[in-house]
A and B are shown apart, each in its own frame.
Chain A
Amino acid sequence: MESILIVFFRWLHITTACVAVGGVFFLRIVFPIALRSLDAEAARTMLLRTRRIFKMVVHTCILLLLISGSYNAWMNWPKYTAMGRGLGHSLFGTHLLLALLVFALALWLLAGPEPKKNHLKWMAINLGLMFLTIAAASVLKYARETHSAPAVISKNQ
């Protein structure tokens, strides 16, 4: 049962992160190109409609990321401690802080019926922070897998 939950929550975490990051990339980079073909009024209507639909997607993603992330952290906590010298916890802390910053920025950007002033600039900053969050997670995973290579791996090389 525990194995099923571990795999499920890991899958949920990665999938939800992919949907959120890809969605923000699409909304910030691809979508403005499409809006150029419309007149000002139609472009504004479409932006507001898309924003409303995307808001539901992002809110769901944040909830699922918090649930799956909490479970993953709870399960991996002893492994972070075992990495020694605070390496695991500092990398996890960086990932968590960046993620919370991304959530806060996303919630602020999508709050209210109208987009914020300079929303495109802030969305680009949030996209950059998302990429950094994934980078912190990648380094954490690599550090966890390499901190002690058991004899079976060395034997296979």
Chain B
Amino acid sequence: MLYWIPHVPERLQQGLFPVVRWLHIVCTSLLVGGTLFYEFVIPRAIADLKEETQLAVLGRVRWFFRNVVIFSAIILILTGSLSVYHQWPMYNGEFHPVQPWLYVHLILGLLSLVIAVLAMIRTRAPRQPLIWLRVNFIILLVVIFIVAVARHLRLMIREDAERFPPNPMEMRP
């Protein structure tokens, strides 16, 4: 349907899109599920331990989760850019009303990635839960909601176009 790289076989390009989408969802899962686990599950699990033990556990988890967050952020930006490039015709012309939702998704998505990376690159493990990661969890849920709305709008416009195809006489220059 859509080509993105010239001189690369169509079948290969077609196979690339599901992989890009898969990577985008997997990295989103690592961020959303990881944040939930880090902020809501681990603090409850370590509540009975001594304070120094709690800090040791949080420090180790944080060290590994920071790498996961940075890796996910890079992959999300790369796969997101490729998806937008690939699906650009589906945000233009008849699909123009979907564009604002795409921009909100992009802005909020980037904001959540910046917050996640900044919250995780602090060198010391905090004693209190990270309020910013909790805010970020909500932002991530909103980002997923926005993309669900954008997709639904796109499909509605597409279904209308399939039901009422453009008149070839009107398309003539």
Question: Across the interface, do B32 and A146 meet the contact criterion of CB distance under 8 Å?
Answer: no
Question: Across the interface, do A14 and B25 meet the contact criterion of CB distance under 8 Å?
Answer: yes
Stretch from B92-100, B102-110, B111-119 at the A interface = B92-100
Chain A contacts for B94, CB-based, 8 A:
152, 155-156
Residue among B29, B141, B152 with most chain A CB within 10 A? B29
Q: Interface 1/0s, chain A 10-40, versus B by CB < 8 A?
A: 1100110111111111110111011111100
- Interface contacts (Cβ under 8 Å), in number, total 166
**Please, could you name 5 A-B residue pairs with CB atoms under 8 Å apart, sorted by A?**
A22-B35, A23-B33, A46-B45, A57-B41, A152-B95
A118 CB-CB contact with B under 8 Å: no
Chain B contacts for A150, CB-based, 8 A:
158, 161-162, 165
Question: Across the interface, do B92 and A37 meet the contact criterion of CB distance under 8 Å?
Answer: no
Docked complex Cα distance between A95 and B110 (Å): 30
B129 CB-CB contact with A under 8 Å: no
Choose among B30, B45, B95, B166 the residue that contacts A53 (Cβ–Cβ < 8 A): B45
Question: Across the interface, do A49 and B44 meet the contact criterion of CB distance under 8 Å?
Answer: yes
Chain B contacts for A33, CB-based, 8 A:
60-61, 64
Whose C-beta in chain A lies nearest to the C-beta of B63? A33
Question: Across the interface, do A153 and B89 meet the contact criterion of CB distance under 8 Å?
Answer: yes
Docked complex Cα distance between A11 and B134 (Å): 19
Chain A contacts for B19, CB-based, 8 A:
138
Question: Across the interface, do A36 and B60 meet the contact criterion of CB distance under 8 Å?
Answer: yes
Give the interface size bracket for B toward A.
35 or more
Least distance between B172 CB and chain A CB atoms (Å): 13
Tally of chain A residues near chain B (CB < 8 A): 53
Question: Across the interface, do A42 and B53 meet the contact criterion of CB distance under 8 Å?
Answer: yes
Chain B contacts for A148, CB-based, 8 A:
162
Given A7-B152, A46-B49, A152-B161, are A22 and B93 also a contact pair (CB < 8 Å)? Answer: no
Residue among A6, A135, A153 with most chain B CB within 10 A? A153
Given A3-B156, A33-B64, A50-B41, are A26 and B49 also a contact pair (CB < 8 Å)? Answer: no
Least distance between A77 CB and chain B CB atoms (Å): 15
Chain A contacts for B64, CB-based, 8 A:
29-30, 33-34
Given A149-B1, A156-B95, are A19 and B33 also a contact pair (CB < 8 Å)? Answer: yes
Least distance between A70 CB and chain B CB atoms (Å): 17
